[in-house]
Amino acid sequence: MINKYMPKSLLIVESPTKAKTLQKYLGSDFLVHSSMGHIIDLPKNELGVDLEHDFQPKYVTILGKAKVISGLKKAAAGITDIYLAPDPDREGEAIAWHIAQALGDKEHRFHRVLLVEITPKAIKEALAQPVELNQPRFEAQQARRVLDRLVGYQISPLLWQKVKTGLSAGRVQSVALRLVVDRERAILAFVPDEYWSLAACLEAKAPPAFVANLLKKDGKNIKPTSAGKVEEILEALEAAEFRVDQVSKKPQRRNPSPPFITSSLQMEASRRLRFPPRKTMRLAQKLYEGLEVGEEGPVGLITYMRTDSTRVSSEALDAVRGFIEEAYGKDYLPAKPNVDKSPKGAQEAHEAIRPTGVSRRPQDLKPYLAKDELALYDLIWRRFVASQMAPAVFQLTTVDVAAGPYLFRATASVLQFPGFTTLYQENQEEGEQPAKLPPLKTGEILTLRDFDPQQHFTKPPARFTEASLIKELEVQGIGRPSTYATILSNLQDRLYVAKEKSGLRPSEMGMVVSDLLVENFPDVMDPKFTARMETDLDRIADGDVPWQGVMRDFYGPFAQELAAAKTQMRRVKSVPTDIICPDCGGELHVRWGKNGEFIGCSNYPKCGFTGDFTRDAQGKISLAGQEPPAPGTPDEQPGAAPAVRGKPAPTGLTCPKCQKELLLRRGRLGEFLGCSGYPKCKFTQNFTRGPQGEIIPQSPEDEAAYTCPREGCGGHLLKRRSRRGFFYGCSNYPKCQFTMNQPPLDQPCPQCQFPWLMKKGKKILCPRDECSHQEAAPATN
Q: For 276, what's the count of Cα atoms within 13 Å in the CB-facing half-sphere?
A: 16
Distance between CA atoms of residues 222 and 404, nearest Å: 14
> Which pairs count as long-range contacts for 127-132, CB under 8 Å and 24+ apart, including other chains?
127/11, 127/83, 130/83
Distance between CA atoms of residues 596 and 167, nearest Å: 12
Q: Do the beta carbons of residue 309 and residue 342 sit within 8 Å?
A: yes
Q: How far is CA 261 from the centre of its chain?
A: 17
Distance between CA atoms of residues 388 and 381, nearest Å: 12
What type of residue sits at position 564? A
Distance between CA atoms of residues 53 and 76, nearest Å: 34
> How many other CB atoms are there within 10 angstroms of residue 650's CB atom?
10
Helices (H), 411-526: 466-476, 481-493, 508-520
Backbone angles phi, psi at 261, to 5 degrees: -110, 180
β-bridge mates for residue 760, sequence order: 763
Element (H, E) at 197: strand 194-203
Distance between CA atoms of residues 414 and 60, nearest Å: 64
Distance between CA atoms of residues 83 and 105, nearest Å: 13
Q: Do the beta carbons of residue 82 and residue 109 sit within 8 Å?
A: yes
Q: Do the beta carbons of residue 193 and residue 520 sit within 8 Å?
A: no
Q: Does residue 5 carry a catalytic annotation?
A: no
Distance between CA atoms of residues 449 and 133, nearest Å: 75
DSSP states of 334-375: -SS----PPPTT--TTS--B-BS-TTS-HHHHTTTS-HHHHH
Distance between CA atoms of residues 695 and 582, nearest Å: 26
Distance between CA atoms of residues 244 and 443, nearest Å: 5
Q: How far is CA 398 from CA 247, 435, 749, in A?
A: 6, 11, 36
User: Which residues, other chains included, contact 360 with Cβ-Cβ below 8 Å and sequence gap of 6+?
Assistant: 301, 381
Among 25, 83, 304, 496, the active-site one is 304
Distance between CA atoms of residues 491 and 172, nearest Å: 11
What type of residue sits at position 317? L
Element (H, E) at 544: none
Distance between CA atoms of residues 744 and 366, nearest Å: 53
Q: For 456, what's the count of Cα atoms within 13 Å in the CB-facing half-sphere?
A: 12
Per residue, what are the HEC states of 18-54? HHHHHHHHHHHHEEEEECCCCCEECCCCCCCEECCCC
User: Which residues, other chains included, contact 639 with Cβ-Cβ below 8 Å and sequence gap of 6+?
Assistant: 500, 505, 614, 615, 616, 617
Q: Are strands 109-112 and 81-84 parallel, antiparallel or unpaired?
A: parallel
User: Which residues, other chains included, contact 267 with Cβ-Cβ below 8 Å and sequence gap of 6+?
Assistant: 467, 468, 470, 471
Torsion angle, alpha carbons of 72, 74, 77, 82, to 10: -10
The length of the chain in residues reads 781
∠ CA 333-339-341, nearest 5°, is 150
Residues designated catalytic: 304
